[in-house]
A and B are shown apart, each in its own frame.
Chain A
Amino acid sequence: MRIHDRYKGYFFILPAFLLLVGILGFPAIAAILQSLNLMWVSKPSFTVSSYLRLSKDAEFLGSLINTIIFVSTTVSFHLILGLGIALLLNLEIKRRHFFRVIAILPWTMPDVIGGLIWKFIFDTLPGFVNGVLIRGGILAEPIDFLGTPLLAFSSFIFAEIWRGYPFVMLILLAGLQAIPRHQYEAGAIDGASTVQSFLYITIPNLKYMVIIAVILDTIWECRLFGMVYSMTGGGPGYASQVLSLLTYKHYFQFFNTSYAASIAIILAIFMLIISIPYLRITMRREV
C-alpha cells in the first residue's frame, strides 16, 4: 500500500475524526432530525410544526423567561462571588491551599445531590432554615420556601449560586496567578493605591479570563437540570421551570419527542451564539 504524503496525515486523524463525528455530530444531527419529525418517531414525516408550536406555547415562553432570569442572576453572582473569593485566595496567607480546597467543595457536589440537600434545608417541617428560625423565636410558623413561587425560584437561584461559584473562581484564580508580579511592583513605585492597582492592573489582565468564565458559566447554567429537578421540580406551578426541565418533561414524561427536540435545538442555538466570543478569543490566542 502506498499513500501519498499529502493524504497521510488524514489517515492518522481519521480515527479521532470518526469518534468526534460519532460522539458529537450524531446526537446533534439526530436531535435536528427528531425536531423535524424524521427520526425516532412512530410515523416519520417532515414537518416544522414543533417549531411553530413553540411560538404559541405559553409554558415554553414562561420557561424561556425563567431561564434568562436564572442564568443572568446566577452568572452575575458567580462572577462577583468568584472574583471576590479568588482575590482572597490569591493573598499570601497561611493555609491558603486548605482554604482553596474548602472553596471548591460545592463544585464537587453533583447537582442532583445539591438540589436534594437544599430541598431539605428549605423544607417546611423538617427543614433546617425553618427549624432554626422557629427555635430561635423569630418565626411562629414555618415559611413555605418551596411552595411560594417567588421564594421557590429565589431559593433555587441561591442554591445554584452556592454550588456554581467555584467554577468561575478557579478560572479567575488561575488568571490572577498569571499576572506578572512586576506590574504591581511598577504600580507601587508609581504610587498606585490598592484600588488603583486592582482597577488598572488586575482587571485589564483578567479581561479575557472573565469573558471565558462568563461564557462557559452561561452555557453550563443554560443546561442545568439536576438541581431544579430535584429541588423544586419546576414548581410550584411553572414558577421555577427552566428550559432544560421542560425539554426533559416533554421527552421522557409526555413522550413528545419532536417537540422536546425542538426546544433543545433552540437552547443549543442560543448557547452557540453565546459561545462565539469564546471561540474567537481562544482561536485568536492559538494563532
Chain B
Amino acid sequence: MKRKEELEMLKRTYWMILVLIMVFSLSLSGNSVMGQEVKISYSDWQLAQDIWGKSLREAIAEFERLNPGIKVETEPVALAQRDVKFTTAIRAGAGPDVFALDVNPVKQYIKEGWVKDVTPFIEKEGGQQWLSDFYPRTLMPVTEDNKVYGIPKNTVAMVIVYNSQLFKEAGIKSTPKNWKEFRDVCKKLTKATKPGGPVDQWGVAFVLAKACFDLRFSVVLRGFGGDFLTPDWKHSALNTPEAKEAFNYVVDLILKDKVMPPGVTQVDCNEARRLLAFKKTTMKIGTMWSITEVSGFNPDLHGWEVLEMFPIPQKEGVKSKIRSTLYQKSIFMNPNTKHPEAAWKLMKFLTDKKQMEKWFIDNNMLSCRKSVNDTYGPILQSKYASVVKREIENAAFLPLIPQWPECLEAFRVNLQAAIAKQKTPEKALMDAHNQIEEILSRK
C-alpha cells in the first residue's frame, strides 16, 4: 500500500514538472503565437542617456504609429556593459533584435557572426543606389567581403571644444593651430581663480580612463603625424619619432606643465564634460555631442553661447592630412531575430533622412547621409557643424580590426604607467609597441 502511494507521488511529481516545462515554453513563445502583433526589441546605450533617450523613444513611438503591426521594446544598456550584454545574449541565441554599435567592436562582431548580413534587404531596396546617399567611408566599418552588416547612422570628427569666455578673460585672441601654441594656451589658462588660493582652473583634461579614451587620445598622435598602427593595420607604429614626440608631449603636459587637473588618469568622458561645465577646465577634446552634454551638466554655463570649437592642432611641417578621428554609430540586426522583416523596417527608419534631421535637432549629431549634411538648413547654419564637417575631411577611423580593443588597452595602460611614473615614457611606449606587435602577430 505504502509503495503504491509512493509510486503515485512520483508519477504526480513528474507530471507536474512536465506541465511546468510546457507552460514555461508557451510563455516564451506566447507573443508571436497568440497575437498578430510582431514584437521586436531595440537596444542602444544612448537610451540610458536623458537627451538621447528621449529623442530615440520619440522616434520609436513614431515608428510604431507608422507600423501598427510592430511593437518595439526599448532596452537601455550602459555603454560599459553593452558588449557584455550583447555578446552573451547573442551567443545564447537571444539578444535584442536590433541594436546600435560604435565602430570599435564591429569587426569582431562580424567575425564571430554576432550581426546579421543585411545585404539581401539592401538589394531589395535598390542595392548600391540605395547605399549611394551614405558617405562611402561610413560604409567601411559595416562592410566585410562585399557583404553589408549594418546601416551607418551618425558620424562626426573629433575637434577641440573650448570655453570662449575664459579664453577672452585670459586675453587669448586666437585659437591654437599647433601643439606648441596649444601648450602655451594651456599654461595661460591654468591658474588660481581666487588671489592667493590654490590652482583651481586648468587648461585641459584629456580622457585617460578607459571609457572614450580611443577617440580622444588618437587625435594627439595623429596631430603629431603619428598613429597607433601602420596604414595596413598590421604592425605597431609606436616606434616612430612622431609617436614618441606625441607620447612625451602628453606626459609633459601632465607632469611638467601641470596643465591638467590632478587625478587626470581617472578622467573619463563624462568627467571631462563635468570639468568643462563647471569651469575647472577650459578645453576638451570632443565633438558635436559635447555641447548638449556639457550644457546638460551645468545649464548656468550657457553652453550654446559660450562653447566654441576649433580643429585639432597639427605639428608644423607634418605632411599627413589626417589629424582627427572619426566616430560612427551604426545600426545592426541580431542573427537570432525571429522577425527580420520588422527588424529591417526599424533599421531603415532609424537611418532615414527624416530621422537623421531629428538626430541633429535633438542631439546636434551629423548624419552619415550626404544629402542631410549638405542640404539640411539647421546643419548649414550651425557654427559647430561647419567646424566638424570640415574636420571630417581630415579624419580617419581607428583601426577596423578585431584585435583593436586589446591593442588600445595595451597602449592606454602603458600611458597611465608613464604618468604614474611606474615607467619612463620611453620604456612605457616601447612596452606598448612590443605588446601590440605581440597581439597583432597572435591572430
From A3, A236, A238, residue with most partner B Cβ within 10 Å: A236
Q: Does B176 contact A (CB under 8 A)?
A: no
Chain A residues lying within 8 Å of B210, measured Cβ to Cβ, are 233
| Nearest-CB residue, chain A, relative to B13 | A15
The interface bits of chain B over 1-21 (1 if a CB of A lies within 8 angstroms of the residue's CB, else 0) are 001001100110100010000
Cα(A255)–Cα(B261), bound, Å: 34
Chain A residues lying within 8 Å of B420, measured Cβ to Cβ, are 147-149, 236-237, 239
In the bound complex, do residue B262 and residue A144 qualify as a contact, i.e. CB atoms below 8 Å apart? yes
Chain B residues lying within 8 Å of A233, measured Cβ to Cβ, are 209-210
Chain A residues lying within 8 Å of B113, measured Cβ to Cβ, are 42
The interface bits of chain B over 240-274 (1 if a CB of A lies within 8 angstroms of the residue's CB, else 0) are 00000000000000000000011111100000000
Given contacts A149-B420, A256-B406, contact A40 B7 (CB under 8 A): no
Q: Does B402 contact A (CB under 8 A)?
A: yes
Chain A residues lying within 8 Å of B417, measured Cβ to Cβ, are 236-239
Pick from A1, A249, A255: contact of B112, CB below 8 A. A255
In the bound complex, do residue A235 and residue B83 qualify as a contact, i.e. CB atoms below 8 Å apart? no
Pick from A124, A134, A256: contact of B263, CB below 8 A. A124
The interface bits of chain A over 43-77 (1 if a CB of B lies within 8 angstroms of the residue's CB, else 0) are 00000000000000000000000000000000000
Q: Does A98 contact B (CB under 8 A)?
A: no
Chain A residues lying within 8 Å of B111, measured Cβ to Cβ, are 42
Given contacts A125-B280, A255-B87, contact A3 B7 (CB under 8 A): yes
Chain A residues lying within 8 Å of B282, measured Cβ to Cβ, are none
Question: Which residues of B from 399 to 423 have beta carbons under 8 Å from A?
Answer: 402-403, 405-406, 409, 413-414, 416-417, 419-420, 422-423
| Nearest-CB residue, chain B, relative to A252 | B84
Interface residues contributed by chain A, number (CB under 8 Å): 35
Q: Does B317 contact A (CB under 8 A)?
A: no
In the bound complex, do residue A125 and residue B261 qualify as a contact, i.e. CB atoms below 8 Å apart? yes
The interface bits of chain A over 141-185 (1 if a CB of B lies within 8 angstroms of the residue's CB, else 0) are 110101111000000000000000000000000000000000000
| Nearest-CB residue, chain B, relative to A233 | B210
Chain A residues lying within 8 Å of B112, measured Cβ to Cβ, are 42, 255
Given contacts A140-B198, A253-B405, contact A147 B265 (CB under 8 A): yes
Cα(A236)–Cα(B421), bound, Å: 10
What is the predominant secondary structure among interface residues of chain B facing chain A? helix
In the bound complex, do residue B209 and residue A254 qualify as a contact, i.e. CB atoms below 8 Å apart? no
Given contacts A3-B7, A237-B420, contact A141 B413 (CB under 8 A): no
Cα(A144)–Cα(B208), bound, Å: 14
Query: What is the distance, in angstroms, from A113's C-beta to the closest C-beta of chain B?
Result: 14
Cα(A226)–Cα(B7), bound, Å: 48
Q: Does A8 contact B (CB under 8 A)?
A: yes
Cα(A253)–Cα(B84), bound, Å: 8
In the bound complex, do residue B83 and residue A253 qualify as a contact, i.e. CB atoms below 8 Å apart? yes
Which size class do B's interface residues fall under? Answer: 35 or more
| Nearest-CB residue, chain A, relative to B428 | A237
Cα(A15)–Cα(B16), bound, Å: 12
Query: What is the distance, in angstroms, from A121's C-beta to the closest C-beta of chain B?
Result: 13
Q: Does B336 contact A (CB under 8 A)?
A: no
In the bound complex, do residue A147 and residue B419 qualify as a contact, i.e. CB atoms below 8 Å apart? yes
Cα(A68)–Cα(B432), bound, Å: 26
Cα(A148)–Cα(B414), bound, Å: 14
In the bound complex, do residue B405 and residue A125 qualify as a contact, i.e. CB atoms below 8 Å apart? no
Pick from B84, B209, B416: contact of A237, CB below 8 A. B416
Q: Does A123 contact B (CB under 8 A)?
A: yes
Chain A residues lying within 8 Å of B339, measured Cβ to Cβ, are none
Pick from B7, B263, B264, B265: contact of A1, CB below 8 A. B7
Query: What is the distance, in angstroms, from A222's C-beta to the closest C-beta of chain B?
Result: 21
Given contacts A42-B113, A254-B405, contact A141 B198 (CB under 8 A): yes
Chain A residues lying within 8 Å of B263, measured Cβ to Cβ, are 123-125, 142, 144, 146-147
From A8, A140, A252, residue with most partner B Cβ within 10 Å: A252
Instruction: Give the number of A-B contacts (CB < 8 Å).
Output: 94
Cα(A255)–Cα(B315), bound, Å: 36
Question: Which residues of A from 239 to 260 have beta carbons under 8 Å from B?
Answer: 239, 249, 252-256
Question: Which residues of B from 37 to 52 have beta carbons under 8 Å from A?
Answer: none
Cα(A5)–Cα(B7), bound, Å: 11
Chain A residues lying within 8 Å of B55, measured Cβ to Cβ, are none
Chain B residues lying within 8 Å of A239, measured Cβ to Cβ, are 417, 420, 422
Chain B residues lying within 8 Å of A142, measured Cβ to Cβ, are 262-263
| Nearest-CB residue, chain A, relative to B417 | A237
From A12, A42, A233, A239, residue with most partner B Cβ within 10 Å: A233
In the bound complex, do residue B10 and residue A11 qualify as a contact, i.e. CB atoms below 8 Å apart? yes
Given contacts A125-B262, A149-B422, A252-B83, contact A236 B409 (CB under 8 A): no
Chain B residues lying within 8 Å of A125, measured Cβ to Cβ, are 261-263, 280
| Nearest-CB residue, chain A, relative to B85 | A252
Chain A residues lying within 8 Å of B74, measured Cβ to Cβ, are none
| Nearest-CB residue, chain B, relative to A123 | B263
Cα(A234)–Cα(B10), bound, Å: 53
Cα(A256)–Cα(B423), bound, Å: 27
Cα(A140)–Cα(B360), bound, Å: 45
Cα(A140)–Cα(B199), bound, Å: 10
Cα(A239)–Cα(B420), bound, Å: 10
Query: What is the distance, in angstroms, from A226's C-beta to the closest C-beta of chain B?
Result: 12
| Nearest-CB residue, chain B, relative to A53 | B442
- Nearest 5 pairs between A and B by C-beta? A124-B263, A237-B417, A254-B406, A236-B420, A236-B416
| Known contacts A1-B11, A255-B87, A255-B105, then 15 further A-B pairs from the complex at CB < 8 Å, ordered by chain A residue | A124-B262, A125-B262, A140-B198, A141-B198, A141-B262, A142-B263, A144-B262, A144-B263, A146-B266, A147-B263, A236-B419, A237-B422, A239-B422, A255-B112, A255-B405
Interface residues of A (CB under 8 A from B): 1, 3, 5, 8, 11-12, 15, 40, 42, 119, 123-125, 134, 140-142, 144, 146-149, 233-239, 249, 252-256
List 21 A–B pairs whose Cβ atoms lie within 8 Å, in order of A's numbering: A15-B13, A42-B113, A119-B266, A124-B266, A125-B261, A125-B263, A125-B280, A134-B198, A142-B263, A144-B263, A144-B265, A147-B262, A148-B420, A235-B416, A236-B422, A237-B417, A238-B417, A239-B417, A252-B84, A254-B403, A255-B108
